[in-house]
Chain A
Amino acid sequence: MFKKRWMDLSVGSFFILGLSVFFFLSSITGQVSDEKLGAYQLRARFDDVSGLVNRALVRISGVTVGQVNDIVIVPDTYSAMVTLTIFDPKLKIPADSTIGVYTEGILGSKYLSIMPGFSDTFLRKGDEILRTNSAVVLENLFSKLLLFFGDK
């Protein structure tokens, strides 16, 4: 009798445990369906996005608020069009904000950072962030330096 009841209990708690772990894992990981939960997308045009990849992070003041969804080339200007998702629908971004490509550490991965502006109008779904800073490419920096010293 005891054996039977103990077995029932352990199998039952096994399933309860499994279910709670299921929900735990779904809460600590990202969801493909996040977009349906009110996250909205913005666009930004850069001259150079070297090193930026899909799903790179988007930050404001160092706090992650979204991610990069898509990077494509704009045919007539040859600039890069980046689509990014802001996760929190309540997070409003001023229209005159600046967005730039930055590097984590010296050789780390690239991320986007938004410096909020002061405008009273806010960007809405699908809007473009107009002020952009392109990626700093170390090779370009070096060649500029070499030119600079070469002139002397």
Chain B
Amino acid sequence: MFNLLRVLEQFLRFIGCLLLALQYGRLLPRQMISQLHIAGVSSLVLICISALFIGLVFAFQMYIVLEGFGSLPQLSQVVAFGLFRELSPVVTGLLVAGRVGSTLAAELGQMKQAEQIDSLLMWGINSYAYLMWPRLLALLIVTPILVLAFDAISIYAAWFYAVTLHGMESQIFWTPLVFGSIYFEVDVLYGMYKAVFFGGWIGVMSLYQGAFVERGSSGIAKASTQAVVLSSAGVLMLDYVLSQFLY
């Protein structure tokens, strides 16, 4: 119990330092670009592959159900509804948590152990402003874009399944999306809003784990595991809460 309180206090102090560091913030473009690269470009392939297969399997199952009701023209709507609103931001969040969260925690932990953070302090440089914020900001920017990529790839995967594999007419697939109950402002944009929150959560959790790493290489292992666990669980919880607010 006492331990839990101490962790909570430590975490709140971390958030406080993070917010205080905003006043020193001056973005270095080079650093920002390389963080965007790490968070975004290098997760893109993983996201695309997952989107492809999730879109395919979703279309496969829905095809069976809808065929039974004679409502096959609704396929694209059903797929878009399920994916755009929930599955795409959540799966993207989970993948980013695994791919980027663990990297951040391990990297920060390594820097802490190697006294890099102390040496930055010696140079008068606030590690929250120069190490944490660029990484956090990169995640905030990149996650919604990854969700967009996920949306596009998964709907194309469903299209491939229905049109190319099962001979549905392309027009019948696309038309209900435009005239049906899928709205860009609601279904696609809200997914992106969620993603911003997920990105922020993953970033804060992973950086926190990295900044308060325990000693030794087991400390780094523990930090990166904890980062993935906390950020994945958090993504699922946040998703429920945000859905309640948004829809």
Contacts and interface: CB of A to CB of B under 8 A. Distances in A.
Direct contact of A and B (CB under 8 A): yes
Interface string B29-52: 010011011001100100000000
Contact of A18 (B148, B175, B178, B181): B148
A107 B80 CA distance: 23
B179 A87 contact: yes
Interface string A11-24: 10011011001101
A51 to B, nearest CB: 12
A57 interface: yes
Interface in A39-76: 54-55, 57, 64-67
Contacts of A108: 69-71
B184 A109 contact: no
A30 B149 CA distance: 18
A7 to B, nearest CB: 5
Interface residues of A, number: 34
Contacts, number: 94
A11 to B, nearest CB: 5
A17 B149 contact: yes
A15 B145 contact: yes
B228 interface: no
A91 B137 CA distance: 48
A8 interface: yes
B148 A25 contact: yes
A67 B179 contact: yes
B8 interface: no
A48 to B, nearest CB: 21
Contacts of B178: 28-30
Contact of B33 (A8, A55, A104): A8
Given A31-B184, A107-B69, A108-B69, A11 B36 contact: yes
B183 A64 contact: no
B40 A14 contact: yes
B98 interface: no
A80 B33 CA distance: 59
Contacts of B121: none
A35 B69 CA distance: 31
A66 B73 CA distance: 15
Contacts of B212: none
Contacts of B37: 7, 10-11
A106 interface: yes
A43 B113 CA distance: 71
A150 interface: no
21 contacts: A7-B33, A11-B40, A14-B36, A18-B148, A21-B151, A25-B152, A26-B188, A29-B183, A29-B188, A30-B177, A32-B183, A32-B184, A32-B185, A32-B186, A55-B181, A64-B175, A67-B180, A67-B181, A87-B179, A104-B70, A108-B69
Interface of B: 30, 33-34, 36-37, 40-41, 44, 69-71, 73-74, 80, 145, 148-149, 151-152, 155, 174-188
